[in-house]
A and B are shown apart, each in its own frame.
Chain A
Amino acid sequence: MACVYIPVQNSEEEVRVALDQLPRDATDILDILKAEQAPLDLWLIIAREYFKQGKVEQFRQILEEGSSPEIDEYYADVRYERIAILNALGAYFSYLGKIETKQKEKEDHFILATKYYNKASRIDMHEPSTWVGKGKHNQNLQVNFYKCTRSHKNLEHTHLVTGQLLLAKGDVDQAFSAFKIVLDGDRDNVPALLGHACVEFNRGKYSSSLEIYKRVLQVYPECPAAVRLGIGLCRYKLGQFERAKQAFERVLQASHMLTTFCMFFLDPENVEALVALGIVDLQSNEASGIRGAMEKMQRAFDVYPYCATALNYLANHFFFTGQHFLVEQLTETALAATSHGSTRAHSYYNLARSYHSKGDYEKAGLYYMASVKEVNKPQEFILPFYGLGQVQLKLGDFKSSLSNFEKVLEVYPENCETLKAVAHIYLQLNQPTKAHEALKKAVRIDPRDPEAFLDLGELLISTDSGAALDAFKTARNLLKKANEEVSIELLNNIGVIHFERGEFELAQQTFKEALGDGIWMKLIDSEAQSDSFRKVLHQPMDASLAARIYKDMQLFHNLEKNGITVELPWDKITTLSNLARLFEQLHKTETASILYRLILFKFPEYVDAYLRLAAIAKARNNVPLSIELIRDALEVDDKNPDALCMLGDLELKNDDWVKAKDTFRAAKDASNGKDSYATLCLGNWNYFAAVRSEKRAPKLEATHLEKAKELYTKVLVERPANMYAANGAGVVLAEKGQFDIAKELFTQVQEAASGSVFVQMPDVWINLAHVHFAQGNFPLAIKMYQNCLRKFYYNTDSQILLYLARTHYEAEQWQDCKKTLLKAIHLAPSNYTLRFDTGVTLQKFSASTLQKTKRTVDEVRATVAELKNAVRLFSQLSAASNLQIHGFDEKKIETHVGYCKHLLEAAKVHCDAAELEDQQNRHRLELARQAAIREEESRLAEEQKKVKLEKRKQEDELKKVMQQEQHLERIKEHWKSSSGSKRKDRGQEDEEGGQGGERRRRKSSNKKRKRDKKPMDDDQQDYEETNYYQPDNQTNDNDNDDNDNRLAAAGLEDSDADDDTGGAPSSNTGRRIRGWSESEEDEPEKRQPSSSPVRDNSAEMQPSDGE
């Protein structure tokens, strides 16, 4: 049994104290020590023994007594032991400080510890450090071999202790300098080395830390477990998991042997090693490893229930097993047990994560925040930043979220998940370029991540559909390769892009793939239908119901009645609706309508389907049905701005102006003014209102125009890329005569519109053509109208044909004008305005031909024919007016008839004259021709004579030569002469070719621009007014306007009897004419170059003006 002997003062005797039988009350032994003035090392031994036995109070009592001022005084010379005592106390308190969880007490302990160390260092500044080893890597480990085995043998140094203290407080840099002082004195000072290693470890320099530990092991092979633990941890941090594991295992093997060395390892189990080993096991990521890890954690927990690390890992484990209650318990305990920042950070993180997964984002955010606050540098523990970012993203705090994710990226610049999250936020913050960069990086880093490609595709959808398509396709292929299910959304997206790019076949395939098999397939593909199915599907319907076909659901009831289940999973609605939209594009409209109805059959609240059906009905001119369908949609959602806008549009079509305005207003209100389409509609409404009003009040007109402009501008401010608003703005500008700006605007819109299959903007083409027309650039206007007709209307729009005819008329291309009008009549047979216009054109053509000074008889004949046609057209109109078929004024028409007949008579004279002249001409020509023929004949005869003469000459010569030369040469000579004569014949033919010249002369163009263009220009404005934006809304009104214009124009220009009609024409005409006279005053300067009014006919205008 170990004993100590206290020498009795002034004698040889000793008091024997058995160390295992130390009195409970330390005062007894203290009294002895004091009385006998025992050496201080005995005090230390006894104190340590008390400590070993767990009698901390006694330990403290002895040491405190041993460092009291009396002792200092008495043992003034004994420096070493005094320092040892102080150091022991210091170490004790610093340990207390470390394990204390309450901040206040913790501070107190540290202060006390510092006091003792300071006192020690005052005793001897130059004393080497106390052997108070304390391996410490981070605070959770608290491996403390404070005053280990050989403390009494080693020299102590306060610097070392101070260093450790500083380390314990987390002041790494100062600790480092403290250790450095020691190491400068003794390179192999083990505690200093350990401290240094610890510093390096804390600084994240794991490999250098590892090196130092290894050196410690060399210097001191029986080192405590802590060294191995340190090695293990370093290896772990360096990613050498196997070797780390070995190290930890050795710690555990050795731990019971080493217990003696470690004052505070009171248990045979080293908690830290257990925990570390557990972590390594976890790292293995295998089921068995994880199980083992949890067992070890459990053991550590049993050994020491306040080890925060173990708690955290257990919590982590239970998080993954979903036992959130345990997670909270454990982490709360862990939080209570430790003040170490990073451990707390882990605990908070666990807690936050638990709430996060439960969907309590507020709380999760708070705990993430707490966790983040505990972390000094993001690189130490990045997860809470990520979590915080996620939660903030969820809560819509994009800016903070972004900054957190960016912190993650600083540490892990290549983390795909984070990059994706960042990209998502950039997108939300409307910074698509940055989002694009982030996603591109993510895709580059991990080209096998389908999700990243998906995100990238979604990002690019609006900007670069081609690239988006590629991204989506890559995602699809990756998923397919991995044998994962390709989501319907992805396929849908691919389909949509194909659709947008006009690759309809591919789009259809993709949509079908997305939809899989179902009732829709049978509805789409008639070949897949069985006969019985087809029979049910194609039951004839009463023709009187056919007008309401898009509301018919009987079809599905019939199918169900016949035992065919009609099912539609909700997640396929969107794709099915897209497919239906595609069928619309492919003009398989009836199939599309069945699909839409299928959607509505199953999901009657799917508003879009109603709207599409309404649009189909509208395209078929079935306004009542369309309105009914929209009302259905509004029943589901009475604030749906799209439905309201459409309704307004239809009301306009029904000429229900006031209602339409209210509806548009409601649409605007329903979307809080954010729906630019509603605003746009209101703008259009105002524009139409400005140009349509029956009583044309300039003031009202100006107000409406101003209002329209304001609304268009508003839309443009919100969405600078809105083409329709730009178009509207251009129209208003054109209306105000600012053609150049308008043209600029239209051109830009036109360019912008030519890209998507969905954006069809024929209006802007028409407007542009109108501007060209207004500026007198007829050829360009004609080209533009023609292109527009062909490109957008399959040449079926009679209104544009009318514009075209009008341009031809202005360009005095009478035949083109007539043909164009006839085509228009053919397309719109019931539009009598067109017939009237044709009549006017014929009349104008004839008049202008007759006014020409030089004209051929054919021209005059054509004139007569056309005049007859005009008369017939007008008389037909006149007859029709009796039947009240159209709204023309009968007298007006009769005026035209009269005028044409008058012209016809005049033409007859001209015709006769021309005929005569023609005959004379012909006679003259005939004479000339005969003369020419005669001349030719004589010339020919002469030539022949010449040839003959020559021939004879040659023959004579030949004969001579024959006489002199041989037979062969004579033949050669003969060939030469014969080929020469052939050439001459050809020359004659050329001369005859000149006779076609006469025909060319007839085509003499007549480009003289005549007379007052003024009314026409204004007329042109009416054209403009009518068709902007949605010409179909306006067609009917326009007809009347044009009609009036035509009437007036015709009357003004040609009709002598116009005076009579002064009082008679319909009020519209009068109104119109007044309008012209007003605008004429406004505009002449502007129009000078093109109009230069010749006033010869303007006198005729006066009566009208006076109206």
Chain B
Amino acid sequence: MKLAWLRSLETSHQDCVWACTWVPATDKSPGLLLTGSLDETVKLWNPEDLSLVRTNTGHCLGVVSVAAHPSGKIAASASMDSFVRVFDVESNNTIATLEAPPSEVWQMQFDPRGTTLAVAGGSSASVKLWDTAEWKLVATLSIPRPEGSNSKPSDKGNNKKFVLSVAWSPNGRQLACGSMDGSISVFDVQRAKFLHHLDGHTMPVRSLAYSPLDPRVLVSGSDDERIHMYDAEGKTLFSSMSGHSSWVLSVDVSPDGAAIASGSSDRTVKLWDPKMRAAVQTMTNHTDQVWGVKFEGGVRGCLLASVSDDKSISLYNYS
């Protein structure tokens, strides 16, 4: 279990890079890296040499999230102005522009079959599900408000369930979302039903990832500097791993399910061994907060990408 640094691109964007994801390879094109930045652009990269494939413009106020359809043909990007732009990867034609006011848009993810796009809805305390055929809002999975909270406008408690992050289980049956107050909510998607909370974090949960092999194992990263491993169905906490010296901004599970990668405000990327419950490697090539880490999901190789406020992109070989 090891990360080997491959290459970095210093100024990949004009400003902080906040999001990244892998676009699966299609018959026409190889797998690409998709990044989004404060500079209001979305860029596509060839991982071979980190050469720029294309720059998409059109967003306002910083791109906070990008998502790629499992087919590799469609991708989505979202910015702080709460618009989601769905576009054709090859042609950059806009397929749809999604918004669900007054809900903001934070993290997004396509479900494993590619029929639904889940969008973390911020202050609406819900996850919006968009149908990818018609680009219609098909469901809103709301986190039930705690009992007896007839919230007043000035009550600060309202924002606690602010939804930041979202993740699909590998079988597409479950969906988890992380909130500002540190709680994680698990939903049954088919029945559009809230199942339960997973407690343990006490600060915003900015990133969630299911193990690709085990639909029960959910990994979360939080501002409380911990990475948690939950049994999402059994409602138990496997382990709480500390080691980052600041917020954990992003987590991802390796395709073989044996390792966890994390990016943190402490400027590092760490590789964790869930069995040992300890970090086995720390990469220090970034010079500012690392907002995104992502394993390339493909079977053939195993690349890890990381993006940072330092405007750079880095690639590593995971083995």
Could you tell me which A residues sit within 8 Å of B by CB distance? 526-527, 538, 540-544, 546-547, 549, 587-591, 617, 619-622, 793-796, 819, 822-823, 825-826, 829-830, 832, 838, 865, 868-869, 872-873, 876, 879-887, 1036
Which chain B residue shows the least CB distance to A590? B242
CB of B190 within 8 A of chain A? no
Asked whether, in the complex, the Cβ of B102 is within 8 Å of the Cβ of A794, the reply is no
User: Which residues of B sit under 8 angstroms from A826, Cβ to Cβ?
Assistant: 18, 38, 62, 64, 80
Q: Which of B2-10, B47-55, B128-136, B198-206 contacts A (4 or more CB under 8 A)?
A: B198-206
What would 11 more interface pairs be, CB under 8 Å, given A540-B236, A587-B245, A883-B102? A540-B231, A546-B200, A546-B240, A587-B243, A590-B240, A794-B245, A829-B164, A873-B81, A883-B123, A884-B158, A1036-B156
User: Which residues of B sit under 8 angstroms from A869, Cβ to Cβ?
Assistant: 60-61, 81
CB distance from B311 to the nearest CB of A (A): 12
Asked whether, in the complex, the Cβ of A795 is within 8 Å of the Cβ of B288, the reply is yes
User: Which residues of B sit under 8 angstroms from A886, Cβ to Cβ?
Assistant: 153, 158-159
- List 8 contacting pairs A-B, 8 Å CB cutoff, sorted by A: A538-B277, A540-B238, A543-B200, A543-B235, A544-B197, A620-B202, A620-B226, A872-B81
- How far apart sit A793 and B277, CA to CA, in the bound complex (Å)? 26
Which chain A residue shows the least CB distance to B125? A885
- Which listed residue (A538, A547, A819, A830) contacts B200, Cβ 8 A? A547
User: Which residues of A sit under 8 angstroms from B223, Cβ to Cβ?
Assistant: 796
CB of B244 within 8 A of chain A? yes
CB distance from A547 to the nearest CB of B (A): 5
- Which residues of chain B in 108-138 are interfacial with respect to chain A, using CB atoms and an 8 Å cutoff? 122-124
Which chain A residue shows the least CB distance to B266? A794
CB distance from B293 to the nearest CB of A (A): 16
Most A C-beta atoms less than 10 A away, residue of B62, B106, B242: B242
Asked whether, in the complex, the Cβ of A796 is within 8 Å of the Cβ of B158, the reply is no
Asked whether, in the complex, the Cβ of B151 is within 8 Å of the Cβ of A884, the reply is yes
Interface size class of B (residues with CB under 8 A): 35 or more
CB of B13 within 8 A of chain A? no
A884 and B153 in contact (CB under 8 A), knowing A589-B242, A822-B61, A830-B180? yes
CB of B1 within 8 A of chain A? no
- How far apart sit A275 and B18, CA to CA, in the bound complex (Å)? 94
CB of B70 within 8 A of chain A? no
A543 and B230 in contact (CB under 8 A), knowing A620-B203, A622-B202, A869-B60? yes
Asked whether, in the complex, the Cβ of A538 is within 8 Å of the Cβ of B18, the reply is no
Asked whether, in the complex, the Cβ of B123 is within 8 Å of the Cβ of A880, the reply is yes
- Which residues of chain B in 235-286 are interfacial with respect to chain A, using CB atoms and an 8 Å cutoff? 235-247, 265-267, 276-278
CB distance from A1054 to the nearest CB of B (A): 20
Most A C-beta atoms less than 10 A away, residue of B62, B153, B246, B265: B153
Asked whether, in the complex, the Cβ of B101 is within 8 Å of the Cβ of A879, the reply is yes
- Which residues of chain B in 1-52 are interfacial with respect to chain A, using CB atoms and an 8 Å cutoff? 15-16, 18, 38
Most B C-beta atoms less than 10 A away, residue of A591, A826, A865, A880: A826
- How far apart sit A549 and B106, CA to CA, in the bound complex (Å)? 30
Asked whether, in the complex, the Cβ of B242 is within 8 Å of the Cβ of A587, the reply is yes
- How far apart sit A868 and B16, CA to CA, in the bound complex (Å)? 23
User: Which residues of B sit under 8 angstroms from A621, Cβ to Cβ?
Assistant: 182, 202-203, 224
Which chain B residue shows the least CB distance to A625? B202
User: Which residues of B sit under 8 angstroms from A823, Cβ to Cβ?
Assistant: 16, 38
Asked whether, in the complex, the Cβ of A794 is within 8 Å of the Cβ of B267, the reply is yes
User: Which residues of A sit under 8 angstroms from B246, Cβ to Cβ?
Assistant: 793-794, 796
CB of B300 within 8 A of chain A? no
- How far apart sit A996 and B246, CA to CA, in the bound complex (Å)? 45
Asked whether, in the complex, the Cβ of B159 is within 8 Å of the Cβ of A885, the reply is yes
- How far apart sit A343 and B4, CA to CA, in the bound complex (Å)? 84
Which chain A residue shows the least CB distance to B15? A819
CB of B296 within 8 A of chain A? no
CB distance from A900 to the nearest CB of B (A): 14
User: Which residues of A sit under 8 angstroms from B239, Cβ to Cβ?
Assistant: 538
A540 and B237 in contact (CB under 8 A), knowing A547-B199, A880-B123, A884-B153? yes
- Which listed residue (B15, B61, B122, B247) contacts A794, Cβ 8 A? B247
Closest 5 CB pairs of A and B: A546-B200, A879-B102, A830-B159, A794-B246, A589-B242
- How far apart sit A305 and B156, CA to CA, in the bound complex (Å)? 94
- How far apart sit A589 and B202, CA to CA, in the bound complex (Å)? 14
- How far apart sit A886 and B154, CA to CA, in the bound complex (Å)? 6
User: Which residues of A sit under 8 angstroms from B18, Cβ to Cβ?
Assistant: 826
- How far apart sit A887 and B277, CA to CA, in the bound complex (Å)? 43
Which chain B residue shows the least CB distance to A541? B237
Asked whether, in the complex, the Cβ of B123 is within 8 Å of the Cβ of A830, the reply is yes
CB of B318 within 8 A of chain A? no
CB of B210 within 8 A of chain A? no
User: Which residues of B sit under 8 angstroms from A588, Cβ to Cβ?
Assistant: 242-243
CB distance from B152 to the nearest CB of A (A): 7
Interface string of B148-174 (1 = CB under 8 A from A): 000111101011001010000000000
- How far apart sit A876 and B61, CA to CA, in the bound complex (Å)? 14
User: Which residues of A sit under 8 angstroms from B154, Cβ to Cβ?
Assistant: 887
CB of B211 within 8 A of chain A? no
Asked whether, in the complex, the Cβ of B151 is within 8 Å of the Cβ of A542, the reply is no
A819 and B38 in contact (CB under 8 A), knowing A794-B245, A879-B101? yes
User: Which residues of B sit under 8 angstroms from A838, Cβ to Cβ?
Assistant: 61
A880 and B102 in contact (CB under 8 A), knowing A830-B162, A869-B60? yes
Asked whether, in the complex, the Cβ of B80 is within 8 Å of the Cβ of A825, the reply is yes
Asked whether, in the complex, the Cβ of A544 is within 8 Å of the Cβ of B199, the reply is yes
Which chain A residue shows the least CB distance to B244? A587
CB distance from A232 to the nearest CB of B (A): 76
User: Which residues of B sit under 8 angstroms from A832, Cβ to Cβ?
Assistant: 123
Asked whether, in the complex, the Cβ of A794 is within 8 Å of the Cβ of B278, the reply is no
Asked whether, in the complex, the Cβ of A887 is within 8 Å of the Cβ of B153, the reply is yes
- How far apart sit A885 and B126, CA to CA, in the bound complex (Å)? 13
A589 and B80 in contact (CB under 8 A), knowing A882-B102, A884-B152? no
- How far apart sit A795 and B226, CA to CA, in the bound complex (Å)? 18
A543 and B241 in contact (CB under 8 A), knowing A795-B265, A795-B309? no
CB distance from B100 to the nearest CB of A (A): 11
User: Which residues of B sit under 8 angstroms from A527, Cβ to Cβ?
Assistant: 276
CB of B207 within 8 A of chain A? no
Asked whether, in the complex, the Cβ of A544 is within 8 Å of the Cβ of B235, the reply is yes
- How far apart sit A886 and B276, CA to CA, in the bound complex (Å)? 43
Asked whether, in the complex, the Cβ of A543 is within 8 Å of the Cβ of B243, the reply is no
User: Which residues of B sit under 8 angstroms from A546, Cβ to Cβ?
Assistant: 199-200, 228, 237, 240
Which chain B residue shows the least CB distance to A818? B61
CB of B312 within 8 A of chain A? no
User: Which residues of B sit under 8 angstroms from A794, Cβ to Cβ?
Assistant: 245-247, 265-267, 289
- How far apart sit A160 and B87, CA to CA, in the bound complex (Å)? 129
CB of B82 within 8 A of chain A? yes
- How far apart sit A622 and B203, CA to CA, in the bound complex (Å)? 8
User: Which residues of B sit under 8 angstroms from A887, Cβ to Cβ?
Assistant: 153-154
Most A C-beta atoms less than 10 A away, residue of B180, B202, B230, B245: B202
Asked whether, in the complex, the Cβ of B289 is within 8 Å of the Cβ of A543, the reply is no
Asked whether, in the complex, the Cβ of B278 is within 8 Å of the Cβ of A547, the reply is no
Which chain B residue shows the least CB distance to A616? B242
- How far apart sit A544 and B180, CA to CA, in the bound complex (Å)? 17
Most A C-beta atoms less than 10 A away, residue of B106, B123, B152, B244: B123
User: Which residues of A sit under 8 angstroms from B243, Cβ to Cβ?
Assistant: 587-588
Which chain A residue shows the least CB distance to B240? A590
CB distance from A843 to the nearest CB of B (A): 14
Most B C-beta atoms less than 10 A away, residue of A549, A617, A830, A887: A830
- How far apart sit A796 and B203, CA to CA, in the bound complex (Å)? 13
User: Which residues of B sit under 8 angstroms from A587, Cβ to Cβ?
Assistant: 225, 242-245, 266
- Which listed residue (A589, A876, A885) contacts B82, Cβ 8 A? A876
Asked whether, in the complex, the Cβ of A885 is within 8 Å of the Cβ of B289, the reply is no
A796 and B226 in contact (CB under 8 A), knowing A538-B239, A822-B80? no
Asked whether, in the complex, the Cβ of B237 is within 8 Å of the Cβ of A542, the reply is yes
Asked whether, in the complex, the Cβ of B236 is within 8 Å of the Cβ of A541, the reply is yes
CB distance from B82 to the nearest CB of A (A): 6
User: Which residues of A sit under 8 angstroms from B265, Cβ to Cβ?
Assistant: 794-796
CB distance from B180 to the nearest CB of A (A): 5
CB distance from A504 to the nearest CB of B (A): 12
CB distance from A612 to the nearest CB of B (A): 14
